[in-house]
Amino acid sequence: MYEGFEIQEAIPEASSMIETFRAIGYNLETAVADIIDNSITACAKQIIIQRYWDGGNSIISIKDDGMGMTNEDLIHAMRPGAQNPLVERDEKDLGRFGLGLKTASFSQCRKLTVLSKKNGITSFWTWDLDFVAKCKKWNLIHWCPEAFKNSLDDVESGTIVIWSELDRIIPLNVDKMDQVAKERFSMALQKVREHIAMTFHRFIEDKQISIIWGSHSILPWNPFCPTESKRQPFPVEHLAGNVTLTGYVLPHKLNFSSEDAFRKAEGPKGWSGQQGFYVYRGKRLLLFGDWLGLFKKEECCKLARIAIDLPNSQDAEWQIDIKKSKAHPPIYCREQIEQYAKKVRASAEEVFRHRGKILKQRAGQQFHPLWLEKRKDSNWSYIINRDHPLVAYFKGLAETHPAEAIDQMLSLIESSVPTKTIFINEAKNEDKYETDKALDTTLIHKTIKSMYDSLINQGKNSLQAKALLKIIEPFNFYEDFIDLL
Ligand SMILES: Nc1ncnc2c1ncn2[C@@H]1O[C@H](COP(=O)(O)OP(=O)(O)O)[C@@H](O)[C@H]1O
Ligand SMILES: [Mg+2]
């Protein structure tokens, strides 16, 4: 090919390449998860995550008892782009681009050391980004932090990934006595722990792996609350390419088995944030609490969660990115996903809104709402239930104590405005909602006329009375009618 043409080597410049790697957009949670993926692919049974606080010299390490690597394997693994993404992967392989180990690590730290043990021999190599930038060459260093020299002695085979100079989490000049920085570090790690409990919950539930955090095993966090008897599962739906959808509506707060269970079910992003799709590739959760651009997150749909299960052969179709935290459903199945999700969302909204219904069933008696929702086409209005027992009560009271009756009635109305329902309807119909239509014109006209008569009786002349009426809400909308009086 290109015989007779001049050739010129143009090797990527080391320091700018590094910055590109660092900017791929991992966060600490997704970066750690990517390292754990490698351990799982290497058939690890146990993964141990350790954090060592030492100010700017703090370290995070992730160790596994997987198959490990030989020295040659390790050098290959440390090379950016170690594997071609187009090569077909084993069904259980969680990797893809041959970049995860490097990009995930560099996104968080300036120094990456990997020790790996295979056939009884431990090998180790370090990437130091400052060294690469300085010598302008991708040179690995045969160096390992002193404290980790023997870290694989207790396993037959395995690998430990060590991150030091964590400049994206702790500025490197921070002193170990800096309590604020320490607190920040521990809060960042708390999020990592929650993320791991969620991302790998299927592996932990199946006892395929255990993940040790310091000295405790991380318990799985299943977004679909399998032990809650009052959740509503939806029938599984099959999409092209062996992809399945399984929707769940979680129980209303009042119907959770306990308050504690309700709180635990909330998840890292909070109730509203966790609604939406949960995309799994095999057992691995890629993306969570996201409507994939098909819907907006809404308070009323916060109990809806839908699992999408993909085989890893669907990576390209679903545009799984390097960080494994984004996915886009292919156009040909969007419609089907949308229709399915609509049903789950409608059901979730029903559960969220009709807390009242539950009260009614519980009491076994007729329930008396104070406000009624009147719906005409896409317009809602809210009226006071004239048959409410309190309305009759106030009418009675008005006969002897009119001022008190009006006062009490107004207080009751103020304290019971159905803000939640209004909020939901308003949010769903931002453009269509019109309050004006809710007003009954005949009744308003009657009231204006009777107030006008009363003002005249009080000695106002017609002009004065009309001027007064025009500055009273909602009469101000009826100037034409007032002028005709
Ligand atoms: N913990 C580990 N145990 C054994 N091999 C590993 C481990 N981590 C990485 N490797 C090897 O390094 C290679 C490169 O890893 P990585 O950069 O994450 O890319 P990918 O996972 O996409 O292959 C892996 O394919 C694997 O062969
Ligand atoms: Mg990987």
CA of 153 to the centre of ligand 2 (A): 24
**48, 101, 116, 323: residue to mutate for ligand 1 pocket, most atoms within 8 A of CB:** 101
477 compared with 51, residue with greater pLDDT: 51
Does the beta carbon of 133 sit less than 6 angstroms from any atom of ligand 1? no
pLDDT of 359 > 80? The answer is no
Confidence of residue 389 (pLDDT cuts 50, 70, 90): confident
Does the beta carbon of 70 sit less than 6 angstroms from any atom of ligand 1? no
Ligand 1 atom having least distance to the Cα of 34: 18
Does the beta carbon of 447 sit less than 6 angstroms from any atom of ligand 1? no
**pLDDT tens figures, 52-97:** 999 999 999 999 999 999 999 999 999 876 565 566 666 656 666 6
As a whole-number percent, the residues of the chain with pLDDT over 70 amount to: 89
Does the beta carbon of 42 sit less than 6 angstroms from any atom of ligand 1? yes
Does the beta carbon of 31 sit less than 6 angstroms from any atom of ligand 1? no
Distance CA 343, CA 334 (A): 15
Q: Quick one: pLDDT at residue 83?
A: 61
Closest CA to 455 of 442, 440, 471: 471
Q: What single-letter amino acid sits at 471?
A: I
Does the beta carbon of 200 sit less than 6 angstroms from any atom of ligand 1? no
Does the beta carbon of 306 sit less than 6 angstroms from any atom of ligand 1? no
Q: Quick one: pLDDT at residue 114?
A: 98
pLDDT of 475 > 60? The answer is yes
Lowest mean pLDDT among 89-103, 287-301, 445-459: 89-103
218 compared with 475, residue with greater pLDDT: 218
Name the residue at shortest CA distance from atom 26 of ligand 1.
77
Torsional sign, CA 256, 190, 297, 382: positive
**pLDDT tens figures, 185-206:** 999 999 999 999 999 999 999 9
**pLDDT tens figures, 298-352:** 999 999 999 999 987 888 888 877 666 778 899 999 999 999 999 999 999 988 8
Query: Which residues are CB-contacts of 318 (< 8 A; sequence separation ≥ 6)?
Result: 279, 310, 327, 328, 329, 330
What is the chain's mean pLDDT, rounded? 87
- Winning range, highest mean pLDDT, from 92-101, 147-156, 448-457: 147-156
Does the beta carbon of 33 sit less than 6 angstroms from any atom of ligand 1? no
- CB 372 within 8 Å of CB 382: yes
Q: Quick one: pLDDT at residue 361?
A: 44
- CB 478 within 8 Å of CB 444: yes
Secondary structure (DSSP) of 269-317: THHHHT-EEEEEETTEEEEEEE-TTSS---GGGTTEEEEEEE-GGGTTT
Q: Quick one: pLDDT at residue 27?
A: 93
Please name which ligand lies nearest the alpha carbon of 77. Answer: 1
Question: String of b and e for 248-258 (b: at least 16 CB within 10 Å)?
Answer: bbbbbeeebee
pLDDT of 367 > 80? The answer is no
Closest CA to 394 of 384, 378, 383, 405: 405
Query: Which residues are CB-contacts of 5 (< 8 A; sequence separation ≥ 6)?
Result: none
Kindly report whether the peptide bond that precedes residue 235 is cis, defined as omega within 30 degrees of 0: no
**pLDDT tens figures, 88-122:** 666 656 666 678 899 999 999 999 999 999 999 99
**21, 30, 36, 41: residue to mutate for ligand 1 pocket, most atoms within 8 A of CB:** 41
Instruction: Point out which residues pair with 123 in neighbouring strands.
Output: 116
CA separation, residue 423 to residues 270, 364, 395, 420, 482 (Å): 20, 29, 31, 5, 33
Domains of the chain: 14-217 (3.30.565.10), 232-355 (3.30.230), 371-484 (no CATH)
As a whole-number percent, the residues of the chain with pLDDT over 90 amount to: 57
